Amino acid sequence: MTELEKLIKTVADGLKLMAQGVEKLAEKVDDIGKSMSEENSNAKPKRKAPAKPKKKAVKPAAMKSATAADTVLGVIKRHKNGVDTATIMEKTGYERKKVSNIVFKLKKQGKVKSEKKGVYVKV
């Protein structure tokens, strides 16, 4: 036999031994799996608690917190002749950017209109 044939035979024998070892491991895993399933089948099945109907959390009108838009709209409503951005910022404590964004949204919704630049009135 040539040297190459000897190496191939050695590798083939090694692969056969590994395959046998893998088969033994697979059998052991199957045995363990069967014994675990038998233990579980002998155990009493757990009862599930009866399903409780889910209650929707309903907030009464008095408990609802006002949104930032509601707050700004409230300030605008209190001033019949209109209110400027600086006053809205003073009354609400919001920054200029937040006030202008809220006023923009209120104008788009048709709840507020501009009297003149920077002065807003409830529609």
Averaged over successive runs of 10 residues, the pLDDT of the chain (123 residues) comes to 88 93 91 79 67 64 75 93 93 94 94 90 91
Q: Are residues 30 and 72 in the same domain?
A: no
Question: Is 53 a member of any domain?
Answer: no
Kindly report the pTM of this predicted structure: 0.48
Q: Are residues 36 and 75 in the same domain?
A: no
- The CA dihedral of 92, 94, 98, 101, to the nearest 10 degrees, is 20
Question: Is 60 a member of any domain?
Answer: no
Question: Is 19 a member of any domain?
Answer: yes
Question: Is 58 a member of any domain?
Answer: no
Question: Is 56 a member of any domain?
Answer: no
61 beta partners: none
The enclosing domain of 111 has a CATH number of: 1.10.10.10
* Helix, strand, coil percentages for the chain (3-state, nearest 5): 60, 10, 30
Question: Is 59 a member of any domain?
Answer: no
Question: Is 57 a member of any domain?
Answer: no
Separation between Cα atoms, residue 78 and residue 23, nearest integer Å: 85
Q: Are residues 42 and 76 in the same domain?
A: no
Separation between Cα atoms, residue 95 and residue 65, nearest integer Å: 20
The one-letter amino acid at 3: E
Question: Is 84 a member of any domain?
Answer: yes
Range of the domain at 3: 1-46
Q: Which sign, positive or negative, has the C-alpha torsion 24, 27, 33, 34?
A: negative
Look at the chain and report how many structural domains it folds into: 2
Q: Which residues make Cβ contacts (< 8 Å) with residue 94, sequence separation at least 6?
A: 68, 72, 88, 102
